[in-house]
Amino acid sequence: MDQSVHRVWPYREVEVFTSRELEKQLAVLSESELRVLVVGAGIAGTTAAQLLRSSGIRPVLVDGTGPDANAGYMIALMPMVDAAIKQLGARGAYQDGSTRMDRYRVLSHRGTALRQDSLAALLAEYGQYRGLSRAALLDALSVGGCDVAWHTRVSSLAESGAGVAVTFETPDGGRAADFDVVIIADGIHSATRRFVPGGRSPQTTVTGWGGWVSWAPADAEPDLGEELWGDGFFVGSYPVKGAVGAFIGGPRADLADGPSAFVDRIRNALTASTPRLRRVLEAMDAAEDPFFWVLDDVRTDRWATGRTVLLGDAAAGFLPTAGIGAGMAIESAWVLCNTLTGAAPGGVAERLARYEAAQKPRVEAAQSNSRQLARLMFRRSTLLAHVRNTAMRFVSVDVALAPIRKLLDEPAVIPSAGVD
């Protein structure tokens, strides 16, 4: 079968090709001033490949899964992604596939509303906070077409001063090729990271929590994000285009009986509710095989090792607590690709070192903020829940998002190229 069409809910329609797609991409590799391999066609990898293509470089983009894999979860993006979206010429597709998230409401551990804040006012000087599904984001990033060799894995990687020798495993057998630079962006559980020194022993934060993602119908508050921080559970709901993305989570030991049983546990803990919360719990109760999200993160000691570089979750995988992981992945891809633009093959190592020095501290600061929030959210303590409720009545979202505002106040900088 040469190709078929799959629909991944919501929004994503993609074409699946055999491993001839890899041959097609390799055939034009020599036409590029820089031979680049991007491993992973998720958010970071797709952004990187498309940005390189927009600059005239013709990277090879491979992914070990297929495009009909689970589309995943909902995403909220801060304005830090705007530069990359603009450079890709994807502003229209991004706007059309997403919706503004202008308000944030937080509920007590028993379901009563504690406060509601305006995100639009908070972010007015920077841009918009927008919600969309992961599938819709990949569609926007792929506007105009995005060649991917699916079901293609890196089986070995050997770096030398002259380049990187890579072998691939495809459904039709093995294949080998040489590259000037390899961008490893195959996710928090990266299979390729093990080939480079900095990725062999990543540091992992194990929260012990996890949860399910489901989709509820759009409601009368399409600009509202709502969160309930419970004592041993969490419920979050976030607007996407035409729907509401919902997440319920808790200690993984409490989730063994499945989402319906955990929804019952949450309902039994509530003394109040909002219309949104009721609809979200109903949607989760009715969901068939919802996506399960393990709430752990990863941090690697080194990103760049001469001619290879880790990107996105492969470098620093975020907890979702600050809602900034996807935004940082897109921003990092933008910084990396603009740092590489114009590089000679012999100058790759210097460019990658400059990129890591500029972007790694920024990403890790944002990751640390997510970890701090996790220590507040992922707890089972009624006393702490009461203390947290009292604090939330007086602490605005402006204060809570101060570290993110700092990132927006001091935007990412593309490091100078130096001399190749």
Residue 387 lies in a domain: yes
Q: Which pTM value belongs to this model? A: 0.92
Residue 115 belongs to some domain of the structure = yes
* Percent of the chain at pLDDT exceeding 70: 92
What pLDDT shows up at residue 317? 96
Residues 123 and 212 in one domain: yes
- For the stretch 257-298, pLDDT in tens is 999 999 999 999 999 999 999 999 999 999 998 999 999 999
In a domain, 94, yes or no: no
Q: Higher pLDDT residue, 119 or 373?
A: 119
* Statement: residue 367 has pLDDT above 50: yes
pLDDT at position 8: 34
208 and 353 both lie in a single domain: no
pLDDT category at 394 given cuts 50, 70, 90 is low
413 lies in a domain? no
Question: What pLDDT, on a 0 to 100 scale, did the predictor assign at position 14?
Answer: 45
Q: Do 365 and 387 lie in a common domain?
A: no
Does residue 419 sit within a domain?
A: no
Is 66 within a domain?
A: yes
Task: Answer whether residue 47 shows pLDDT above 90.
Answer: yes
Distance CA 279, CA 277 (A): 6
Q: Reply yes or no on whether the pLDDT at 158 is more than 70.
A: yes
pLDDT score, position 6: 27
**Sequence letter at residue 294:** V
Q: For the chain, what is the domain count? A: 2
Instruction: Give the per-residue pLDDT at 2.
Output: 27
Residue 22 belongs to a domain: yes
Same domain, 212 and 155: no
Same domain, 318 and 363: yes
Please, what is the average pLDDT of the chain?
90
Instruction: Domain of residue 210: give its range.
Output: 74-85+99-133+204-295+378-406
Instruction: Dig out the tokens for 159 from the structure.
Output: 């770096």
* CATH number of the domain within which 182 lies: 3.50.50.60
